[in-house]
Structure 1
Amino acid sequence: MSEQTSRSGSLAELKDMVSAAGGPAAAQAEAPREPKRDAQGRSYATGRRKNAIARVWVKPGKGEMEINGKTLSKYFARPVLRMLISQPFLVTDRYQQFDVYATVVGGGLSGQAGALRHGISRALTYYEPGLRPLLKKAGFLTRDPRAVERKKYGKPKARRSFQFSKR
Structure 2
Amino acid sequence: MAELQSLEELGGAVETAAPEAPVYVQKLDAQGRAYATGKRKNAIARVWIKPGTGKIIVNKKEYAEYFARPVLQMVLRQPLMLTDRLSQFDIIATVVGGGLSGQAGAVRHGISKALTHYEPDLRASLKKGGFLTRDSRVVERKKFGRAKARKSFQFSKR
TM over 0.5: yes
Residue 71 of structure 1 is aligned with which of 62, 67, 70? Answer: 62
| Consecutive unaligned residues in structure 2, runs of 5 or more | none
**Residue of structure 1 in register with 2:15 after alignment:** 17
1:81 has 2:76 as partner: no
Residues 166, 134 of structure 1: alpha-carbon distance in 2 compared, 3 angstrom cutoff: same
Residues 139, 13 of structure 1: alpha-carbon distance in 2 compared, 3 angstrom cutoff: farther
Q: Aligned with 1:44: secondary structure?
A: strand
Kindly provide the CA deviation profile for residues 88-116 of structure 1, in whole angstroms up to 9, marking residues without a partner as x. 01111111211100110111111111110
Residue 117 of structure 2 is aligned with which of 109, 112, 126? Answer: 126
Distance 2:11 2:29 in 1: 45
Percent identical:
63
The count of corresponding residues between Structure 1 and Structure 2 is 154
Residue 98 of structure 1 is aligned with which of 89, 93, 114? Answer: 89
Aligned ranges for residues 8-47 of structure 1 at < 5 Å?
Answer: 16-19=14-17, 23-25=18-20, 28=22, 32-47=23-38
TM-score when normalising by structure 2: 0.88
| Aligned-residue CA RMSD (Å) | 2.3
The alpha carbon displacement at 1:25 in A equals 2.5
Deviates more, 1:124-133 or 1:62-71: 62-71
Q: Which amino acid aligns with 1:83?
A: M
Q: Which amino acid aligns with 1:68?
A: N
**Residue of structure 2 in register with 1:57 after alignment:** 48
TM-score when normalising by structure 1: 0.84
The alpha carbon displacement at 1:9 in A equals 9.1
Q: Which segments of structure 1 move beyond 3 Å, counting only runs of 4 or more?
A: 8-14
Answer yes or no: is the 8 Å Cα contact 1:43–1:57 preserved in 2. yes
| Consecutive unaligned residues in structure 1, runs of 5 or more | none
Distance 1:74 1:164 in 2: 47
Q: Which has the higher helix share?
A: 1
Q: Aligned with 1:141: secondary structure?
A: coil
The alpha carbon displacement at 1:39 in A equals 2.2
